[in-house]
Amino acid sequence: MIYSLLVLSSPVSGHGSRTAAEFAQCVLARGHSIRRVFFLDAGTLASSGTSVFAQDESDPVHLWVALAEQHALELVICISSALKYGMLDQAEANRHGRPGPTINPVFAVAGLGQLVDACAHSDRLITFGG
């Protein structure tokens, strides 16, 4: 089965982002595939390349980075939400005159068309957060 995930919640408020990452691990471990993980609204904060968490807390951003690196998982953040939350790749940083990117390079910035494409090419879209 092919899944796509939509993550709406911030990695620092609630458990939506962490639950989504754990769900992705389980799906992949069972031999299914994930077409794309799309981060929207506060979910775009999962792409932060500058977040630092206390040593006694798990790092939810690291969970996504590890999944992307181990499984070639496509992680996409919504361009509109990304700009509102200051999550910029190099191209957007240049375009808006900012000193540099603020997202981890395993994430890509794209429009809602990528979410539509994910839905069209997946058996299930699972939403986390709200």
Residue among 24, 32, 25 nearest 7 (CA)? 24
Q: Which of 20, 46, 75, 78 is catalytic?
A: 78
How many whole angstroms separate alpha carbon 37 and alpha carbon 77? 8
Q: Is 78 a catalytic residue?
A: yes
Strands (E), 24-119: 33-39, 75-78, 107-110
- Output the CA angle 10-96-92, nearest 5 degrees: 55
- Active site residue ranges: 78
